[in-house]
Structure 1
Amino acid sequence: KWGSEGSGDGQFNMPSGIAVDAQGNVYVADRGNYRIQEFTSTGKFLTKWGSEGSGDGQFNSPFGVAVDGVGNVYVADFDTPGIQKFGVKP
């Protein structure tokens, strides 16, 4: 089991979608905290991004996350039209 309820790094408030990249890193749509969190395959927290809102890089209710073959991350937000794409990390 990973994490606990809350808003800190590695904590969740209504996790609602997960995806795994080619390196085994796990991305979680953390709906109630308006963010995406990234973890290693063993559950170690790596990073997070997002905040509440409707602008680029913001979410109102992220619920779906996917990763393509080159590492781009795609996020669907229940309350915001469209899909946001986040580029490959350097």
Structure 2
Amino acid sequence: RTLAGSGNAGWKDGSGHSAQFSNPTGIAVDGEGTVFVTDRGNHRVRKITSKGTVSTLAGSGNNAVADGKGAAASLSWPHSITIDPAAKGCLYVSDTFTFRIRRITRDGMVKTIAIGEAELAKKRDPKEPPPESNRVNTLMSLALDPVKDYLYVCEQSNHCIRRLSLASPVVYQRGA
């Protein structure tokens, strides 16, 4: 059974099959049955109610980076999503090609909590420190440990898994 989506790429909020997505990649479900989806091709995070109604939680649709609320925020190729039940259902989203981790509250407020350097995607400089240094690159999957307050991140291009403390989020940059 299809919960939501017409089967054709596009962007449209609405009920069930009238809604449209473009390359959805990440999905998370909260304790109330609300489904959250990273709509990668539309640069948005979408919300699906238990009755199948789709709405946009965050993202302007522009491939850009801006913190803000709802459509005032911009995402760039959001990929993975996870929910923190201990933080009133806050969402964490990997913005893959801008090397950012974004925190989104239930009312759609987007805040960057970790950042890498976009130029790293173009070419990895062999003179730079190894992946163990504080730089992030091509963030893919996320997993949350709400008991210990850690966010685990798979970095595709650095071939590593990072553990970030949510108690004291750090901004990662090359050379930091």
Same fold per superposition (TM over 0.5): yes
C-alpha deviations, 1:40-61, integer Å up to 9, x for none?
Answer: 1242224432022112131110
Counterpart residue number, 1:22:
31
Of structures 1 and 2, the one with the larger relative CO (CA 8 A, separation 6+) is 1
35-44 or 10-19, which moves further after superposition? Answer: 35-44
Question: Over the residues paired in the alignment, what is the CA RMSD in angstroms?
Answer: 1.5
Shift in Å, 1:15: 0.5
Q: How does 1:4-15 map to 2 (within 5 A)?
A: 4=6, 5=8, 6-9=10-13, 10-15=19-24
TM-score scaled to structure 2, two decimals? 0.47
1:52-63 to 2 correspondence within 5 Å? 52=62, 53-56=64-67, 57-63=73-79
Deviations 1:8-39 (A, max 9, x none): 11310000110011211000100011101101
The answer to whether residue 42 in structure 2 is matched with residue 33 in structure 1 is: yes
CA distance in 1, matches of 2:44, 2:56: 10
Q: Secondary structure at the match of 1:7?
A: coil
- Residue 67 of structure 1: SS of its match in structure 2? strand
Contiguous gaps of at least 5 residues in structure 2: 14-18, 68-72, 108-176
Distance 2:96 2:41 in 1: 12
Identity within the alignment, %: 39
**Bigger radius of gyration:** 2
Name structure 1 gaps, 5 residues minimum. Answer: none
User: What SS class does the counterpart of residue 79 from structure 1 fall into?
Assistant: helix
Q: Which has the higher helix share?
A: 2
